[in-house]
Amino acid sequence: MDIISETRCFDGVQGVYMHASSVCACDMTFAVYLPPEAKDGPVPCLWYLSGLTCTHENAMTKAGLQAHAAELGLAIVFPDTSPRGDKVADDEAYDLGKGAGFYVDAREAPWAAHFKMESYIVRELRTLVEAEFPVADRHGITGHSMGGHGALTLAMNHPDLFQSLSAFAPISNPTRSEWGRKQLAAYLGTNESLWADHDATALLKTKGWKGDILVDQGASDKFLDLLNPEALASALFETRTPSVIRMQEGYDHSYYFVSSFGADHMAWHAERLFA
């Protein structure tokens, strides 16, 4: 693991790192924020998954989560959204290829050689973070848009790895959305039976979630039809999953929205990770 930068931030450290990923077969960059409490021992850890076109840097610089993490004593991990490099397959469209890994393990060419984002997050990067940073075995996960989809699906598929869950404007029902069907077909193939494990609405009905869920959605989000929060809300009620799902008047899909409700999400995770 190479240190790209380490910067003092709210008496903690905001770091950016690079390592050679055997899972993605390329170099991967990620960021970790350590609060002041990490100097004295391991702290709980929140994973933040970003959305389409983003890297590790977007939420790190725009979401303003470090101040809340420092106050609460939480570490934050900001992974990248896809493999990178000249040898990694890409597409001219912004919503497929680099920056659009959708947090799945691709099975189809040309994506299968590198696009293994599910295994990268829950296995390789998780192992690296626990080995190299003072984090306790208490992990929460959240994310925005595509990253909200990733947070919900990874938590439900790997419940033993996460103790708390939330999402900002998640892609809630990708098997029924243009933000989902295109990518799932490209990465997993046209057999739609393989897609259900990567759809939060479907997963609630098949695997469920062991705890409660916080979801915030901007009511003025221009991508509402693609995100389909109604499907997620319906599944939460149908499965009687304890949850708080809020439609926030006047808010859009931007990081202004994420930063406005970041404190609520950080407090949500801290309450559960320190329990």
Spans of the chain, pLDDT less than 70: none
Return the SS3 of 201.
helix
Express each pLDDT in 12-67 by its tens digit.
999 999 999 999 999 999 999 999 999 999 999 999 999 999 999 999 999 999 99
Choosing from 198, 253, 265, 269, the catalytic residue is 253
Measured CA to CA, the distance from residue 263 to residue 68 in angstroms comes to: 6
142: closest CA among 115, 118, 170?
170
Choosing from 145, 172, 177, 243, the catalytic residue is 145
Q: Is 221 a catalytic residue?
A: yes
Q: What is the pTM of this model?
A: 0.98
Q: Is 265 a catalytic residue?
A: no
Domains of the chain plus CATH, in order, are: 2-273 (3.40.50.1820)
Measured CA to CA, the distance from residue 183 to residue 160 in angstroms comes to: 27
Tokens of 138: 């208490």
What pLDDT sits at residue 174? 98
**Rounded alpha-carbon distances, angstroms, from residue 79 to 30, 44, 62, 246, 252:** 5, 17, 15, 26, 23
Q: Is 145 a catalytic residue?
A: yes
What pLDDT sits at residue 99? 98
33: closest CA among 64, 76, 4, 78?
76
Express each pLDDT in 233-250 by its tens digit.
999 999 999 999 999 999
Choosing from 199, 221, 243, 265, the catalytic residue is 221
